[in-house]
Structures are given as C-alpha cells and as structure tokens.
C-alpha cells in the first residue's frame, strides 16, 4: 500500500491525485502501526493511528486550500505549472 | 478470520491500483473510498473495531467529503454540465459497487461469526485505547489539537484570500449562464409561481 501511494505520488502530475496518494501513504503507515499493535496486543498502535488520522485531516485541509489557490492562479492542476519559482 | 483478512487486503490493493489508473478524479475518488472501507474491514479483522469505526467516519466520511467539495469547486467552468452528463454513466459505478458489495458480504460474515469468537480473538477495544490516549499520550493529544487549530487557521487564511479576488466574477458568470440558458428547472419554477399567483 505504501509503495502504491509512492508510485502514485511520482507518476501522476495532477495535484488532486498527488494529495490522494499522500492519503494512501499515510493510511498505509497507520495500517502498519495497527498491525504491530495487534501483534503485541498493545493499544499504542491504535493511539498512533489516531494521531496519524488527525495529522492527515490537518494536512488535507491545508493541501486542498492550496490546491484551490493554485487553480485560481494557474487555471490548471498540473504540478509542472508550479515550476515558476525556480531561480 | 484469515480468509476475510486476505480478501479485504486484496480488495484494498486492487482498488488502490484502480484509483491510480483512473483519468477522472471522481472515479478515482470512488475507488479511494472503496480502498479506505477495505482497510477498515482489515482493521476489524485485526481486532481493532474502534479504529475501523474511526477509519470509516473520518477518512471515508470527512476527508473524502473535502476532496469531493474541491473537485466540485474546480469544475465550475462552462463544460461542467457536459462533464456531469458523461460522469453519470452507470458503467463507471459498477466496479466500485462490486468491490463494496464484496466488502459488505465479508462484514456480514464477520458479524455472524463474532457472536462465537468475540473474546477468543485478540481484540483491543476502545476502552484500552482511551485509557492509553489520555494516560501516557496526553501531550500527544494536546499537540494534535494544536496541529488541528493551526490547520484550521491556515486553511481559512488561504480560502479567504481566494474569495476576495475571484468569487465575485464567478458568481456573476454562473448567474448569467443560468439566466441565459433558461433550463427546464428554471422554466418549471416560473410556470409554477405564475400559476399560483
């Protein structure tokens, strides 16, 4: 799952797909935490998943606001259009 | 539990691959929702029902609604109605519906089995999670609240600056289109008010 999210992050050039791939990667990391927590019968893995969940919610809120700004600036969702900042 | 776990994991990986290979954002979102539900079923089979519920409520509920709202906001062009017409083909919904039906079948099987094996499986319930969350991880909870507050303020800041510049022209554009098009809904509404008056 993490590898799939990373592949999606690298392959796709659409900003919404990049954000979705980041969600998949965070979800895979949380899945690893929960699997480890259930392997050793400890609640710490689920606590870490709750923290990852909060972090993903915050990240996606800011990221989607940035995507809206980007779309009104460039009229496209191509990540290559953001290369105007190079020196 | 083992075949249910492997089935849900296979559905998760398959729907993630389908999500990455879609060209349309809405179809990709459908497959992503199915993927998150499959991961929720995986959590349930692993003995974490509280996390499964949180996954469905927050990921598949709140975060996907945010994505859908942004996709909807970004398609406010002239081609919006044509795109809607091409999206609502029933062919595009068959794949996610089949995968979701398999997930529902797995969940029903699990609910029929949990009467027998509720306490034999290694279930870490919400009670232990809550005790750990507000015991040794209290500072983490406070930091998460700081992070969410910062995200709230940041997203509001970014959204407000967008609204000052662009939304007025957008509103005029949609209003002109709506009045110039005289669609069926508008005409039906005027007829009804004229008949009532």
Q: Most B CBs within 10 Å: which of A68, A69, A73, as the mutation test of the B interface? A: A68
Q: What is the pLDDT of residue B191?
A: 45
Residue B80 has pLDDT above 80, yes or no: no
Predicted local confidence at residue B103, as pLDDT: 81
Greater confidence (B113 vs B170) lies with B113
C-beta atoms of B122 and A38 within 8 A: yes
| Contact check, Cβ <8 Å, B48/A46 | yes
For the four alpha carbons of B88, B89, B94 and B96, in that order, the dihedral sign comes to negative
Q: Which two tokens stand for residue A6?
A: 């990373």
Of A18-22, B122-126, B184-188, where does mean pLDDT reach its minimum?
Answer: B184-188
Long-range contacts of B61-65 (CB under 8 A, 24+ apart): B62/A57, B63/A23, B63/A56, B63/A57, B63/A60, B64/B29, B64/B32, B64/B33, B64/B36
Residue from B33, B60, B70 nearest B155 by CA: B70
Q: Is the pTM of this model over 0.80?
A: no
Is A61 in contact with B66 (CB distance < 8 Å)? yes
In 10 A of CB B21, how many CB atoms? 13
User: Which token pair is B14?
Assistant: 């398959």
- Cβ distance A31 to B42 less than 8 Å, yes or no, reads yes
ipTM score of the complex? 0.82
CB neighbour class for B9 (10 Å; exposed up to 12, middle 13-18, buried from 19): middle
What span, in angstroms and rounded, lies between the C-alpha atoms of B67 and B65?
Answer: 5
């Amino acid at each position: 799952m993490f590898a799939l999210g990373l592949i999606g992050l690298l392959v796709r050039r659409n900003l919404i797909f990049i954000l979705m791939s980041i969600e998949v990667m965070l979800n895979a990391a949380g899945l690893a935490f929960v699997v480890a927590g259930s392997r050793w019968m400890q609640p710490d893995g689920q606590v870490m998943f709750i923290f990852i969940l909060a972090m993903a919610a915050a990240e996606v809120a800011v990221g989607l606001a940035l995507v809206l700004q980007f779309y009104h600036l460039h009229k496209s969702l191509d990540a290559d259009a953001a290369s105007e900042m190079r020196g | 539990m083992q075949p249910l776990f492997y089935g849900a994991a296979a559905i998760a990986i398959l729907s993630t691959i389908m999500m990455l290979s879609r060209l349309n954002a809405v179809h990709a979102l459908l497959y992503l929702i199915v993927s998150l539900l499959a991961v929720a079923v995986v959590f349930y089979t692993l003995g974490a029902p509280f996390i499964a519920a949180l996954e469905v409520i927050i990921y598949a509920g709140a975060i996907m609604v945010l994505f859908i709202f942004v996709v909807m906001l970004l398609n406010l062009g002239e081609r919006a109605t044509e795109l809607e017409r091409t999206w609502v083909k029933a062919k595009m919904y068959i794949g996610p519906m089949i995968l979701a039906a398999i997930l529902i079948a797995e969940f029903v099987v699990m609910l029929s089995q949990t009467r027998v094996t509720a306490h034999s499986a290694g279930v870490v319930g919400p009670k232990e999670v809550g005790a750990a969350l507000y015991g040794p991880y209290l500072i983490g909870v406070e930091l998460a609240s700081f992070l969410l507050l910062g995200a709230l303020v940041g997203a509001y800041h970014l959204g407000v600056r967008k609204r000052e510049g662009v939304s007025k022209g957008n509103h005029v554009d949609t209003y002109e289109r709506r009045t110039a098009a005289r669609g069926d809904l508008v005409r039906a509404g005027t007829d009804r008010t004229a008949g009532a008056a």
